[in-house]
Structure 1
Amino acid sequence: MDELKREIGYKIKTIRRSCGKTQIDICGDESELTIRQLARIENGQALATLPKLLLIADKLGVSLQNIVDVKVIEIPKGFLKLKDELIHSQTYADKGRIERKEAILEEIYENYYENLP
């Protein structure tokens, strides 16, 4: 995951500089993306969420594919298994089943949320 963060950050920084834009140009009033967030993304310290990547691509005037090689991004198998169980299990107001769904959501949030595209 660290390599992916560095690669995406490098591409964003390179494209931004080649366009002659500053971080301020990309972030504007910072209502959607702060300069600090962009700096962390560009330096490979943070992985941008999909909405942030779309915003950055739009501000740079490029497609998302110029920033992210979508073939490289892989959804974790553990997440897919939990998602499948969450979607395909019925609760029928059964307390045990509801608790299981809550546990699945908690596990997804704790283990996968930050790294999902």
Structure 2
Amino acid sequence: MSKDAEEDDLCDAVLALASGRTVVAPDLQHEVFQHVRQARLQQREEPALVPSARELEVLRALAQGLGSAEIAKAMHLGTGTVKTYQARVYEKLGVSGATAAVAEALRRGLIE
């Protein structure tokens, strides 16, 4: 709400907020709705990034508490290759670490 808003408008806004509703100043409504509309369009246009089978295999190993070297040995890969898979998983899930990756994968139902 603008500081220049009428007293009645301010009272209505306070009551709306108190009842759990969202209040957007009339002069900002168009901009807010344009932003929401644009965000929804982007979600439809961008394909969901899903880890590959090999990346999921690394993710499952991370979920079991294995480190990069242990995963590399178990999968007969180089440690650098495992770290590359990890980085790709983090990027695809939008996270920055193993714990967050496992939590997000569980939330999405990618691993059990």
TM over 0.5: no
| Larger-gyration structure (1/2) | 2
Question: Normalising to structure 1: TM-score of the pair?
Answer: 0.28
